[in-house]
Each structure stands twice: as C-alpha cells, then as structure tokens.
C-alpha cells in the first residue's frame, strides 16, 4: 500500500463486549482494579483499594455492573484475572464463591515489551493483564498459560513434602556449621547426627591438645539444640507423610500407591509424585514434561535449528526430585528398558554427556509413570520390591 493512502484507524479492543472484564494487580499495600465495561468504547477504568479489602472489591464490582446496565440496559457477568503470586489462591476462591468467573494466569507467560528499558507500573501491568484476558476469552491460541488452582485439600496435603525439604536443608546447615566450627580447632571426626553427639562433645580436645574453649563449646551446644529440634520436627513430618500414604490414610490413588512398590521409589518420592504432579490430569506426554520443566526448548531461525535444553519453567520441586529419582533408577532398576537406553546413549557418546542424558531419562521416567498411573501401562523391565 502506498504511504500516501490514508489508512482507517482500527480499534485496539473489540467494543462488542459480552461481559465486564477486570484485572487485579495485587501488592502488599494496594490492589489496582483495571476494568473494561460494555458501552464505554475502548476506555479502561482504574480503581485502587487497600490490600486485602475484599468487601471493597465486591462493592466495586456491584458498581461496575450497575453502570454497565445503566448505559446498555443489560446485565453483564464479570470475568476477573490475576497473576499467580504471593497471595496464593484465596482471592480466586472468594470470587468463585460469589459466582464470579475467575482466572489465575502464570505471570511469566504474559507477553511484555522487549525494549531495553521498558516502563513498568501497576497501571501498565493491569492494562497488559486485561488485554491478555480479552485475547484468552476470544480463543487466541498460546496467548498465555492459565494456572489450575488446587483445591484447599490438595494445597494443604502437599505442604508435607515441601516442609520436609526445608527441614532437611536446615539439618544440613546446622550439621555443617558445627563441623566447620570444630574443624577450625583441629577436630575433623565429629558427627553431629549421631546419637552420642552430646557425650562425644564433652570428650573433644583441640588439635593442639587443649580442651574446647568455653564459649565455643556453648555455641556448639546451642547449635545442637537447634539441630535436635529440627530432627524432632523432621520425624513428626515424616510420620504425617507415612500416615497419608498408608492404605487406610487419605484418598491416595491406588495406581500412585503402586509406584511406591517399585524398587528405587521410597515414600518421599511417591508422595512428591502424587502431591506435586499426579493430583491433576494431563492430556498428553508433552504437557507432563512441560509441567515439570523437562520439555526441550527449540531454537529455530532460518538455517539455525538446535535445542537449548530443558525449559526449567515448570514445577521446580518436581523437576529436582525427578533428577534424583533418575539416578536412583539406574542403581535399583539396572535391567529396565530405560536404564538400558541410558547406558547405550552414554556409550554412543564415548562416556560423555551423562548430565544431559540423565535429564532425558528423568523426562522419560515421568512420562512412563504418568502412563502407568493414568492408563495402567506396565513399565517395561521394572522390578518390584521384595515382599
């Protein structure tokens, strides 16, 4: 088209709206409500309330409905979107309880400007989130990734595995701190996790033959207090987890319970697989791999075509657990089809590329577990635990 021919300005937003679209930009201090109502053309309105003011939020929705009905003579439903973040899913549950259609979007999937220095304010983010919601409701493909909010029971159950991981990290930190303090005094054979740790501490002497300094000994004693408290809490969490996985426990699927009978899969891995992954349904194996962040990421442009590695954009807890489980699978299931595939793959590369191959094995394992849990497909060559 010639540059001299005037072009007709196209509206940025389709004004034939069938609902009131609202985006919530949430922060610790304020909530910014950006809305687009029928009868207002393409003008977005913004309104701010104090953080946590659910009553004010619902009252504002009532006003939006009343104004839209006054302009058009019709009553419209409200569609709300918010980003998954620090506030969790309680606001989403409140809105659904009030009969309002609510969506939670993955913030990383919302398209943003690629400028070197981009402007960012709550108002700009609210408008971008609202445009994303409009495109999603129009049915545009791959415009964003909506989060599936777990039920309150599912959300509460998976706290056990997450708390255990935190406690294990604290246990390691306390033990390493005690070892470091003693190593600086020439003591290298002290094991803080043994039951005789208190008695052994009284017997220690420094590398030059002196008794432990009084203040150092008191500091280590306080570290042992924290370590023992962590061990008690870790034991309590593991007892709750085992009760959850027991046959008479909560509604753990029998197919997931069968995974725990495979060699190399203990109660912790079985709980992680259930509570972090198989509590929800997937349509195909690509969705399973993408949910764990184990799906390959292509880079293709013209003659350039290669893989960038896994996306690492999914559930990080599930991904790290699957990497650990892949190493254990090679040890406890050496004759399985996947273990033989891994050995052949590494052999072809001359013994190199084990890290990349173990990630591929983790992805294949997760897909195989999903097929076993969802459709009962037998894992080829897998060995069960001895009775």
What pLDDT does residue 332 have? Answer: 95
Render pLDDT for 267-292 as a digit per residue (tens, 0 to 9).
Answer: 999 999 999 999 888 999 999 999 99
What pLDDT does residue 9 have? Answer: 41
Task: Answer yes or no: are the C-beta atoms of 38 and 139 closer than 8 Å.
Answer: no
What pLDDT does residue 42 have? Answer: 73
The CB density around residue 179, as the number of other CB atoms within 10 Å, is 16
Query: Is 137's pLDDT higher than 90?
Result: yes
Question: Which residue in this structure is represented by tokens 């509604």?
Answer: 251
Render pLDDT for 148-181 as a digit per residue (tens, 0 to 9).
Answer: 999 999 999 999 999 999 999 999 999 999 999 9
- What confidence tier does 127 reach under pLDDT thresholds 50, 70, 90? very high
The residue-averaged pLDDT of 23-46 equals: 90
More confident residue, 308 or 337: 337
Question: Which residue in this structure is represented by tokens 């290298």?
Answer: 188
Q: What is the DSSP code (8-state) at residue 41?
A: T
């Amino acid at each position: 088209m010639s540059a001299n021919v005037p072009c007709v300005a196209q509206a940025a937003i389709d004004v034939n709206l069938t609902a009131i679209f609202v985006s919530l930009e949430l922060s610790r201090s304020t909530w910014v409500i950006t809305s687009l109502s029928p009868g207002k053309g393409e003008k977005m309105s913004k309104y701010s309330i104090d953080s946590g003011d659910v009553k004010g939020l619902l009252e504002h929705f009532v006003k939006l409905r009343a104004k839209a009905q006054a302009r058009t003579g019709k009553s419209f439903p409200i569609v709300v979107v918010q980003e998954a973040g620090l506030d969790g899913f309680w606001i989403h549950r409140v809105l659904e309880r009030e009969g309002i259609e609510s969506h939670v979007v993955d913030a990383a999937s919302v398209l943003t400007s690629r400028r070197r220095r981009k402007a960012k304010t709550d108002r700009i983010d609210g408008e971008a989130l609202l445009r994303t919601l409009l495109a999603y409701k129009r049915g545009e493909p791959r415009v964003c990734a909506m989060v599936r909010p777990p039920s309150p029971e599912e959300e509460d159950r998976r706290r056990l595995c997450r708390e255990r991981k935190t406690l294990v990290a604290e246990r390691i930190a306390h033990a390493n701190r005690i070892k470091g303090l003693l190593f600086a005094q020439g003591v290298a054979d002290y094991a803080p996790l043994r039951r005789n740790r208190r008695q052994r501490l009284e017997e220690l002497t420094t590398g030059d033959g002196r008794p432990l300094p009084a203040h150092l000994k008191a500091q280590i004693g306080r570290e042992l207090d924290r370590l023992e408290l962590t061990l008690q809490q870790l034991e309590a969490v593991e007892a709750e987890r085992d009760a959850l996985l027991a046959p008479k426990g909560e509604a753990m699927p029998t197919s997931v319970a069968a995974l725990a009978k495979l060699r190399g899969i203990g109660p912790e891995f079985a709980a992680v697989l259930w509570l972090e992954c198989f509590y929800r349904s997937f349509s195909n194996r690509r969705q399973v791999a993408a949910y764990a962040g184990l799906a390959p990421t292509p880079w293709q442009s013209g003659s350039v075509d290669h893989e960038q590695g896994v996306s690492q954009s999914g559930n990080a807890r599930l991904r790290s657990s699957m990497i650990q489980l892949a190493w254990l699978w090679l040890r406890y299931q050496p004759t399985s089809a996947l273990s033989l595939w891994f050995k052949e793959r590494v052999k072809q590369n001359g013994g190199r590329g084990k890290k990349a191959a173990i990630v591929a094995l983790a992805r294949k394992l997760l897909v195989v577990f999903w097929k076993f849990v969802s459709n009962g497909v037998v894992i080829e060559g897998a060995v069960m635990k001895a009775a």
